[in-house]
Amino acid sequence: MASIELRHVSKHWGPTIAVDRMNLTLEDGEFVAILGPSGCGKSTTLFLLAGIYAPTEGDICFEGARINDVEPRDRNVGIVFQSYALYPNMTVLKNLLFPLRFKNTSNEDAHARAMEIAELVQIEDLLEREPSQLSGGQQQRVALARALIKKPNLLLLDEPLSNLDATLRLTMRSEIKRIQRELAVTTILVTHDQVEATTMADRIICMKDGQIEQVDTAENLYRRPDRIFVASFVGSPPINLVQGRIDKTMLVAGQRRLPVSGNTVSTNVTIGLRPELISTGEQGLPASIVNIEPMGREILYAAQSEIGLLRFLEATPQPRLALEEHVHLKADPGDVLFFDTGSGQRIEGVRLDAFS
């Protein structure tokens, strides 16, 4: 049914550019996440799709038809707001029935639908309560049910889990995923939490300052980030970024020169290497430990090497290395990512020959 498209869509608030020339296509039944730091325009994108805001420029298309001028009430979009936005003056049941009130649904049908949806999100026992008598998780379920009851073509979730505590977040994560799969409704989840995005969505749209940085699967965002921002935003603990310069066939970083090959162009680069891909060994890059952070089942070390500060993870319950201990850092040279420092773009076709 609904394949959804944004064509060159922008939204300006005076001088602020909340969404900047965004192009995007969603397939039917797809679950995508918009991931980005707060203030990057995620909510604005959702509200543009819902019709609450009108785009400053560009077209929004549902099934190929331009719908810029279609009223929100006619778009058949279900939305769960970050605050849940339950109607405080109505019981849960009335909240659920509200969207059907404006359609020609008979009373019995509406109630049957409400029961059905209440069962799906497991709020059958709460129907007579007022929103103020619900816990955060329950409010969230009600909001979800209310968004789903009209069988929307598009479901929009604005940071739905951010107000929940950690365990509840975990359950709701799989709940939302289950419900989405059951109903096969095209869904956009907005989040600033990469774990939420990677665990729930088929594809992730990584956003920064109103622009799309990369649209890809979680794995590709992690392995082959297109830009420095994506590399640094995805992955925890964050990727090591080291400034350097490519000089013919050498990478100059700090006091160290490392050989590179491929179609090298002399330029300033930033190299990225994930902490979990570094280990220690007999040989490699000499470094000394400057910080030790136990993180539960793993230890995060920071080591000062000649190319710069590098963090790496070791899966031991107790720190095996001591502060100021001298180690040799090992990594597969192929795992090292090169970015053009100026443009932030990843440089393909350049690889490190040796990491030592």
Q: Which residues bind another protein (CB under 8 A)?
A: 47, 50-52, 71-73, 75, 77-79, 81-83, 85-89, 98-99, 101-103, 132, 146, 150
DSSP 69-117: TS-GGGS-EEEE-TT----TTS-HHHHHHHHHHTTT--HHHHHHHHHHH
Burial of 229 (0-12, 13-18, 19+ CB in 10 A): buried
191 is a site residue for Mg ion (CB under 5 A): no
Min dist CB 267 to Mg ion, Å, is: 36
Residue number, 18 or 337, with CB nearest to Mg ion: 18
| Contacted entry of Mg ion, ligand ADP, another protein, none for residue 103, CB cut-off 5 to 8 Å set by kind | another protein
**Taking the complex as a whole, how short is the minimal distance between the CB of residue 159 and Mg ion, in angstroms?**
6
Is 343 buried (19+), middle (13-18) or exposed (0-12) by CB count in 10 A? exposed
> Interface with ligand ADP by CB under 6 A: which range of 37-45, 65-73, 89-97, 341-349?
37-45
- 176 phi and psi, to 5 degrees? -60, -40
Neighbour-count burial of 126, counting CB atoms closer than 10 A to its CB (0-12 exposed, 13-18 middle, 19+ buried) = buried
Under rule CB under 5 A, which residues in 31-60 are in contact with Mg ion?
A: 43
Name which of another protein, Mg ion, ligand ADP, none residue 355 binds, using a CB cut-off of 5 to 8 Å depending on partner kind. none
User: Mask 2-31, x = binds ligand ADP (CB under 6 A)?
Assistant: -----------x--x-x-------------
The alpha carbon torsion through 41, 137, 31, 154 (nearest 10 deg) reads -80
Where along the sequence are the contacts to ligand ADP (CB under 6 A)?
A: 13, 16, 18, 36, 38-44
Where along the sequence are the contacts to Mg ion (CB under 5 A)?
A: 43
